A and B are shown apart, each in its own frame.
Chain A
């Protein structure tokens, strides 16, 4: 039965078709489109490398947008993954009512991507929104979070970080596989909690840290709802991420060829960074622990 090759392939067929129709074909097509000028009305016109040339040399908005995207990812990914790890570590102990905390920390991730939360976030960081009300109570100067280009980035970074729950759940699963005996031994040797964390916990879960970093990076580079709803890319394009620029060029201005070229830059960026991560993982991701784990 299990060796029945045709049957197995039959079951996997929907996926094969799905990949060809909705992933591979669009993927190739967007590459082809990126060498054209296309406005949805007239047929696409081949323009060679013009789109890429333009974005590389004559498009300051692209440069700005690229910088914003990189800054966003550089801030948001480590913050989200770091928080997720820290909280998972604190949660990974037998405590009464632990389920309440898990649910509480997970809830924002569940809701966070929604437009409703983006609306609410916009309002929390408004001029006299909740954050500033609290700051005034604490005797601090209120900040124009959404209107000041120096602070606007933080609102979307915080929204992203706030949703650390899904990464946290994955960390929790990994932490529960770390043998307790290792901590007990370290305890006997007089290692502090912090030392235990750095020399036992972290090395043993590097594969999962790696997984979370990659997945969250892919998410971060595509972040759209937050910048679109909360800051609308502004002020002064300070939160105008590439996803927003791609959307505008493709679906608002109908420069489909240029939009495709932009999305390929984004893809190359994510692909390149993933490749670097995979390459670097040789040096810091250890899979050895796996053998000792149960089974």
Chain B
């Protein structure tokens, strides 16, 4: 290596970090500016929204939030948020329980048909879910579950979100079995082993499952769109869609304000768990 003018001497690339910062900063700006701008826009008047590239509003007007929150229906967004949580929270609970059990079985037990089942699991990750929507709808109709939250929650109790199983199995594979073996010698049974040893070790991966499932369920639109009929049961996603369709002349500031509010729970959960779960996703990510 002959001096600093050549390419950076090593992996740390200490030679020109500013170049990297510049590139990363520019990309970050492009990535985040739309979101930042919209937060600003939610305080602006309709005319200011359509003329100002800057995100800082001339004056802070919370009117759009008040109006958006009230909605044009007889319910406020408080109802819709509550509905979203009524779907999301039970769904997260049953997802974690079922997926941890299944992942435990795949990672630590030998049983008949394991290989085939594992392939089926990976295969269903690639199955376009839209193919299943229609017959699933018919099944839930037969069961009399339409216009309830059951179709949105119950399948998750059967570990249908196979991505999570895959993630947990990958994570478990990286954990040495020493502690389990020791506990076994001390007379722990399989469930005690799972609860006292595996679950604490799996915590980062479980946090990832919770965060992903929270955000995906909050974001889910097609599911509620198909299964729910009464407005009083709508989650935030459907209510938002309705707030656009309701008025001919869209009051953009209101819609933007309420969209910003709708994103707050997901953003909050993301930042609260960010470190855990980017690491969790990274370390459980496909390693070959």
Kindly list chain B residues whose C-beta atoms are within 8 Å of the C-beta of A198.
none
Kindly list chain A residues whose C-beta atoms are within 8 Å of the C-beta of B86.
none
Kindly list chain A residues whose C-beta atoms are within 8 Å of the C-beta of B1.
187-188
When chains A and B are docked, how far (Å) is the Cα of A91 from the Cα of B23?
A: 10
Contact with B along A1-35 (1 / 0, CB 8 A): 11111111111101111110111011101100100
B207 at the interface (CB under 8 A from A): no
Contact of B38 among A87, A120, A133 (CB under 8 A): A120
Contact A207 B160 (CB under 8 A): no
Kindly list chain A residues whose C-beta atoms are within 8 Å of the C-beta of B160.
18-19, 22-23
Kindly list chain A residues whose C-beta atoms are within 8 Å of the C-beta of B240.
115-116, 119
Kindly list chain A residues whose C-beta atoms are within 8 Å of the C-beta of B114.
8, 12
B252 at the interface (CB under 8 A from A): yes
- A interface residues, how many (CB within 8 angstroms): 105
A263 at the interface (CB under 8 A from B): yes
A37 at the interface (CB under 8 A from B): no
Q: Which of B23, B32, B135 has the most chain A CB atoms closer than 10 A to its own CB?
A: B135
Contact A114 B278 (CB under 8 A): no
Contact B111 A5 (CB under 8 A): yes
Contact B136 A22 (CB under 8 A): yes
Contact A184 B105 (CB under 8 A): no
Kindly list chain A residues whose C-beta atoms are within 8 Å of the C-beta of B262.
114-116
- A29-B138 contact given A114-B266, A173-B282, A173-B287, CB 8 Å threshold: yes
Name the residue of chain A whose CB is nearest to the CB of B260: A116
When chains A and B are docked, how far (Å) is the Cα of A114 from the Cα of B17?
A: 35
A111 at the interface (CB under 8 A from B): yes
Contact of B17 among A95, A193, A207, A221 (CB under 8 A): A95
Kindly list chain B residues whose C-beta atoms are within 8 Å of the C-beta of A116.
236-237, 240, 259-260, 262-263
Contact with A along B119-144 (1 / 0, CB 8 A): 01100111111111111111100000
**Pairs A–B under 8 Å by Cβ, sample size 10:** A15-B102, A15-B121, A15-B158, A26-B139, A95-B21, A95-B24, A113-B216, A120-B259, A172-B285, A225-B222
